[in-house]
Structure 1
Amino acid sequence: MAYYLGIDGGGSKTYALLGDEHGHILGKGRSGNGNHQTGAQTAAASIREAAFAALAEAGLRLEDIRHTYLGLAGADRKTDYDILHPIIRGIGFTAYTISGDPMIGLRAGTDRPYGVALICGTGTNAAGRNPQGRHFQCGGFDYMYGDFGGGGALNIEVFRTVIRAWDGREAATLMTGPLLKLLGYERVDDMYNDFLDHGKQVPLDAARLLFPAAAEGDAAALAILHRQGVELGKAAAAVIHRLGMENDGFDVVLAGSLLTRGDRGWIRGPIERAVREAAPAAAVVTLSTEPVVGALWSALESDGITISHEMYEQMRPYEEFEYIPITTRQE
C-alpha cells in the first residue's frame, strides 16, 4: 500500500491530510501559522506538528509516505523556495513538492487541471494555470506591492472606520459597538488612546465584524467589502489575460475564510462581474471543502496516480476539520 500526505500551510493555520492510493483518509493534523514570511521557525514547527499529528493518527512514520504535496502561503518566488526547501528537508521530507497555496485551492475546487484560484484569508492571492500548463501568479504580498485586503488588512479598515466615525470624518457605523466589545473597551476614546500609547495591533478577528454590519446595511462595511470584491476581480482578470484564457471554459475557485464563510455576495458579486467580462465562458465557484484535500490529490497525482470519480466523491466532502477562526493571538 502506498501512502500520501497533503499539507496546507496558511497565515493562521496549517492542516495535514494523509491518505492511501485508493483515496481513503487515514489521518489528519492541524497547527498554527505555516507562512515562513511571518516567521520561518514558527512555520517549520507548524508544518512539523500538523504532519506528525496526521502520521500518528494513521499509525505511520514519515518514511512510509510515498509523496507529500505542500501548498504553502508565502511560496511565491525563488527567494521563498530557497528558504522553504531547507525547512522541509530539515523536517525529514524527501519526496515532496512545494507550491503556493492558491494552487491547492484550485485543485480542490475543480475537476479540471486548469483554472484560476482567488484566495482571501489572512491575505489575498490570485493564481492560475491555463490548458497548456502555463502558470501565473498575481499578488500575494501586501498593499505596497499592489494588493488590497484579506483579514490582515480589513481588520485595519474596520478599526480606522470606527475611529473616523468617532472623530467626525465619517458617518456613524454599526461596527463601533462590536469592535469595542471585541477589544474590551467601553468608549472609543479609551481604545484610541490605549492603542496609541502602547503601540497595540488590531487583531485579525476584527475583519469578521464587516459581515454582520453589512447584513444590517451599514454603508461603511458594504463599501469595504465591495472594494475587496473589485480588487479580487481585477486580480482574476489579470491572471486570465496574462494566460490568454479569455475564450476558455474553466472555473474560478474562491478560497479563504473571507470568501467561503460570511460573504453573502458583497465580495463575490464584483468578482463575478469582472470574470464575466474577461472570460464569458468561465464559472465562479466557491470552494466547498478544505484546500488541503487539493494538496492530497496533488500528492497522488505527483506520483502518477489519476484521481478516479470514486476517489473524488469519497474525498471531496471531507470536512472533519474543526473550523479554526482567525485568531486574536498575535503570531
Structure 2
Amino acid sequence: MGAVTGPTSTEVIVAVDGGGMKTDAVALTMGGRVIARRRGPGSSPHFEGLARSVEIVDELVRDVTGDAAVRHVDLYLSGLDLPIEIERYRAAVAALPWARGGLVIDNDLFALLRAGTDEPDAVAIVCGSGINAVGVRGDGAVVRFPSLGPLSGDWGGGSGLGPEALWHAARDVDGRGERTSLTSAICAELGVGAIAELIEQLHFGERDQADLYALAPVIFAEASAGDAVARRLVDRQADEIIAFVRAIVHRLELASHAFPIVLGGSILQGGHAMLDERIAAGISSVAPHARIVRPDAPPILGAAIAAALHAGVPHDAVSRVRSEFAGEGAPTPV
C-alpha cells in the first residue's frame, strides 16, 4: 500500500500492526492526521524469527517516518504472546533511532480490540492462520493466553483446521476413518492426485506445512454442503471461540456485564453462517449481555488510536484518527 502523503519534518507518531500475512505501518501528526502509510510482508516473530521480524518492522517504520522526528511508536505484532517475548523484542529494537522515545510493544490483539471498540470492558478474539484472545476490564485487569499451539492448549485457525482435515482424509483413504468429501476437496485445492501424494510431499519437505492453512475455506464449503466430518470441524472451531469467551468472562467476572466481543481474522470475518450461528448461540449462553462486533476498519486503526492516546494527543485528534480510516472495510486476514 502506498503512502497517503510523504512524511514531513514534523514530529510524528507511528503505529504498526503485524500479523502472519502482512504488516501495516502509519505515521500520524499530533493532530491525528495520517501523513504516510505502508504495507509490507508478515512480521510475526513466530513465523519469521525475531531478527527478520525486526528487519521488516524497521524498514516500514523508516519508510513512513522519513526525516521526521519520532515522538512515540506503538508496535502490535502477532507472536508476542509471553512477557519474555515482548522484552526480547524490546531489546532487539532498542538501538534503532525510532525506538528511543516512547515505545509500546504488545500483541496484535490489542490493535484488533481498539479497532472495534473504545469501551473499557471488552474482549477480542482473532482466528485466522492461528487463534488467540484477550480480555480487558476498566480497572486495568487483563486476561491473555500464551497461544503456543497444542503446548498451551490451543486449537483452531488455519493451522488447526488444515492438518485436522488432512488427518481425517488420510483415515478415509486407508479405511480407519469414515468417508468424507474433504478427501477429494483437499486434493483439488492443493493440486495433488491423491492424499498419499500430499502426505509424502509434506513428509519429505517438498511442500510447506503452511500450505495446509489454505484448507480452511474448503472445510467450510464442504460443511455447508453437508459433509459430517467437515461439520464437526466447524463446530469444534466455534466451540474453541466460545471457550475463550467463557474463560475470559469467568476470570474477569463479566458474566452480568454488557460488553463488546470483537472478532477478527480471516475465519471470523469470512461470513460462514454455520460457524457464526454456533458462536452467537454459545456466547449468549456464557455472557447474555455481550454483543459481537466485527470491525469495519482494519486493525491498524486500533494501533493508531492506541499510539495517539499513548502519545498524549488531544481528544479531538483521537476522534480524527478514526475518521481517517472510515470506509476501508473489514480487516484483512491475520
1:77 to 77, 82, 85: 82
Give the 4+ runs in structure 1 shifted more than 6 A. none
1:200 to partner: Cα distance: 4.3
Which deviates more from structure 2 when the two are superposed, residues 176-185 or residues 234-243? 176-185
Q: Distance in 1 between matches of 2:147 and 2:52?
A: 20
Q: Structure 1 105/69 Cα, relative in aligned 2: closer, same or farther at 3 Å?
A: same
Do 1:297 and 1:307's aligned partners in 2 also have CA atoms closer than 8 Å? no
Return the match for 2:60 from 46, 50, 56: 50
- Normalised to the residue count of structure 2, the TM-score between the two structures is 0.86
Quote the offset at 1:269 in angstroms.
3.0
Matched, 1:285 2:293: yes
Paired with 2:313 and 2:17, the residues of 1 have a C-alpha distance of: 20
Alpha carbons of 1:306 and 1:169: their partners in 2 closer, same or farther (altered >3 Å)?
Answer: farther
CA distance in 2: counterparts of 1:322 and 1:117, whole angstroms: 13
Structure-2 separation of matches of 1:22 and 1:31: 25
What one-letter code is carried by the residue in structure 2 that aligns with 1:41? A
Shift of 1:208: 2.9
Letter matched to residue 283 of structure 2: V
User: After the TM superposition, which of the residue ranges 121-130 and 28-37 deviates more from structure 2?
Assistant: 28-37
> 2-side partners of 1:198 and 1:123: how far apart?
22
1:87-127, Cα deviation, whole Å (9 max, x unpaired):
22244322211121111111100131330001112211111
Q: Which runs of 5+ in 2 are unaligned?
A: 1-9
Number of aligned positions between the proteins: 319
Q: Give the share of equivalent positions with the same residue, in percent.
A: 26
Which amino acid counterpart does residue 281 of structure 1 have in structure 2? Answer: H
CA distance in 2, matches of 1:105, 1:316: 14
Instruction: Tell me the CA shift for residue 321 of structure 1.
Output: 10
Distance 1:253 1:322 in 2: 12
Partner of residue 176, structure 1: 183
Deviations 1:230-275 (A, max 9, x none): 0111111111111121222110000111111x24233333332333
Which of 104, 108, 111 is 2:111 aligned to?
104
* Greater alpha carbon shift after TM alignment, 163-172 vs 128-137: 163-172
Structure 2 distance, partners of 1:321, 1:89, is 33
Q: Which residue of 2 aligns with 1:221?
A: 230
Q: Which residue identity does 2:78 align to in structure 1? A: A
1:27/1:217 Cα in 2 relative to 1: closer, same or farther (>3 Å)?
farther
Match of 2:277 among 245, 269, 275: 269
Q: Contact between 2:239 and 2:279, CA under 8 Å: does it hold in 1?
A: yes
Instruction: Tell me how far apart the structure 2 counterparts of residues 52 and 211 of structure 1 sit (CA, whole Å).
Output: 40
Q: Which amino acid is 1:120 matched to?
A: C
Match of 1:97, SS state, is strand
Equivalent position of 2:4 in the other structure: none
What amino acid is aligned across from residue 36 of structure 1 in structure 2? P
CA contact (8 A) 1:30 1:49 kept: no
Q: How far apart are the structure 1 equivalents of 2:314 and 2:21?
A: 31
What displacement does 1:197 show? 4.5
Secondary structure at the counterpart of residue 67 of structure 1: strand
In the TM superposition, what whole-angstrom CA distance separates every residue of 1:163-212 from its partner, at most 9, and x where no partner exists?
Answer: 22222333433333342234331222332334334574431222332232
Moved more, 140-149 or 161-170: 161-170
Corresponding residue for residue 14 of structure 1: 23
Gap runs ≥5 in structure 1: 327-331
What is the CA–CA distance in structure 1 between the aligned matches of 2:266 and 2:95, rounded to whole Å? 30
Letter matched to residue 64 of structure 1: A
Distance 1:44 1:310, change over 3 A: closer
Q: Which amino acid aligns with 1:115?
A: A
Q: Distance in 2 between matches of 1:321 and 1:251?
A: 17
Cα distance in 1 for partners of 2:219, 2:314 equals 42
Q: Are 1:299 and 2:304 counterparts?
A: no
Rate the CA distance shift 1:132–1:198 in 2: closer, same or farther, 3 A.
Answer: closer
C-alpha RMSD over aligned residues:
2.5
In 1, are the aligned partners of 2:81 and 2:146 still within 8 Å (CA)?
Answer: no
